Amino acid sequence: MPRKLILDVDTGTDDAVALMLAALHPDLELVAATTVNGNVPVDYCTENSLRVFDHIGIPVPVYEGVAKPIERDDFPIPRGDIQSSNAVHGGYLDIPPSRSTKQATAAVDFLIETYRAATEPIVLVPVGPMSNVATALLAEPKLKDLIPEIVIMGGANRYGNVTPRAEFNVWADPEAAQIVFDAALDVTMIGLDVTHKAVTGPDVQRRLREAGSIGVFVAELIDFFTVYHRQTYGWEGAPIHDAVAVAHLLRPGLVETKLRNVEVERVSELCRGRTVVDLWLRTERPPNAHVGVDLDGEAFFALLVDRIGRLG
């Protein structure tokens, strides 16, 4: 039986690849996508998610979520800065406008209702800020007993991508992230230490373009994403962050993890949003997450190209 999952997304570029991989793979059943303010404003995220599903011809319901962090009015830097709609992820994806429409139910209500009614396990995969998930946990405390597993794309142990020490998804709503880590859930954290080992390059781009029309679409998304990473890191490619979280469900062992304690810094001016991972067991804090520490990058790209190619 396919594993059921819900993707909670802030759809710009790499979220789109994660949505396609989850929707296309026969071993997964994508129940729905919920959207959240993040890489781009939430209404963009919703439209982009609908565009992706229309583009690949697979109907998946999309539920729009919260438009700001749970305790702040918005991110503490202007949206025109490095994580804006245009700088890294683009605004609307360069594919035709959606023909389908979002669902009437709000994402948080959908999550609560779905897990209350579920008779089979549904994995929750947040690959954007965790504002929807935290809001749902606060509204329905029993939810922590109903969600069987959460796989997060977010956080970092060694370095950040929006500040020197913070990864964007956690930095954008650190209070929400801490609620998720505190909820006694089965959490796996796929952070930058792992996803920066899933960096494309000319060979992967060529293989995607040779895989057919959808592969060309993915390669073009990566071309846009690469501009920022070339300027920032000097890479001739870009990390496909969010798809790694989906691939983790498909291939046990693809991501190596260690069960460790993770706390989120929410006060420091320098390190707000940093995930402090007790990797070397320096404290007696109880473990609360399976933290990704390594990735078989070659196997990840083989999986991605194969699945994209089957549709293309």
Cα separation, 1 vs 250, in Å, equals 12
Phi/psi of residue 48, nearest 5 degrees: -65, -40
Query: What residue numbers bound the domain in which 52 lies?
Result: 3-311
> What band does 78 get if pLDDT is binned at 50, 70 and 90?
very low
Q: Is 74 a catalytic residue?
A: no
Confidence at residue 259, expressed as pLDDT on a 0 to 100 scale: 98
Whether 26 has a pLDDT exceeding 60, the answer reads: yes
Confidence at residue 82, expressed as pLDDT on a 0 to 100 scale: 39
Percent of the chain with pLDDT over 70: 94
Confidence at residue 220, expressed as pLDDT on a 0 to 100 scale: 85
- Give the pLDDT mean for 81-93: 54
What's the number of domains the chain is made of?
1
Domain at 194, CATH number: 3.90.245.10
The pTM for the full model equals: 0.93
Confidence at residue 266, expressed as pLDDT on a 0 to 100 scale: 96
Q: Are 241 and 162 in contact (CB under 8 A)?
A: no
Whether 89 has a pLDDT exceeding 60, the answer reads: no
Confidence at residue 109, expressed as pLDDT on a 0 to 100 scale: 98
Residues 6 or more apart in contact with residue 307 via CB below 8 angstroms? 21, 24, 25
Whether 117 has a pLDDT exceeding 50, the answer reads: yes
Confidence at residue 223, expressed as pLDDT on a 0 to 100 scale: 81
> What band does 312 get if pLDDT is binned at 50, 70 and 90?
low
Cα separation, 300 vs 116, in Å, equals 33
Confidence at residue 214, expressed as pLDDT on a 0 to 100 scale: 86
Whether 86 has a pLDDT exceeding 70, the answer reads: no
Confidence at residue 79, expressed as pLDDT on a 0 to 100 scale: 43
> What band does 83 get if pLDDT is binned at 50, 70 and 90?
very low
> What band does 226 get if pLDDT is binned at 50, 70 and 90?
confident
Confidence at residue 174, expressed as pLDDT on a 0 to 100 scale: 97
Tens of pLDDT, residue by residue over 165-214, are 999 999 999 999 999 999 999 999 999 999 999 999 889 989 999 988 88
Whether 87 has a pLDDT exceeding 70, the answer reads: no
The chain-wide mean pLDDT, for the chain, equals 91
Task: Please tell me which residue in 8, 10, 173, 242 is annotated as part of the active site.
Answer: 10
> What band does 287 get if pLDDT is binned at 50, 70 and 90?
very high
Confidence at residue 75, expressed as pLDDT on a 0 to 100 scale: 65
Whether 225 has a pLDDT exceeding 80, the answer reads: no
Whether 85 has a pLDDT exceeding 60, the answer reads: no
Strand pairing category for 28-35 and 3-9: parallel
Residues 6 or more apart in contact with residue 202 via CB below 8 angstroms? 236, 237
SS3 string, the chain, reads: CCEEEEEEECCCHHHHHHHHHHHHCCCEEEEEEEECCCCCCHHHHHHHHHHHHHHHCCCCCEEECCCCCCCCCCCCCCCCCCCCCCCCCCCCCCCCCCCCCCCCCCHHHHHHHHHHHCCCCEEEEECCCCHHHHHHHHHCCCHHHHCCCEEEECCCCCCCCCCCCCCHHHHHCHHHHHHHHHCCCCEEEECHHHHCCCECCHHHHHHHHHCCHHHHHHHHHHHHHHHHHHHHHCCCCCECHHHHHHHHHHCCCCEEEEEECEEECCCCCCCCCCEEECCCCCCCCCCCEEEEEEECHHHHHHHHHHHHHHHC
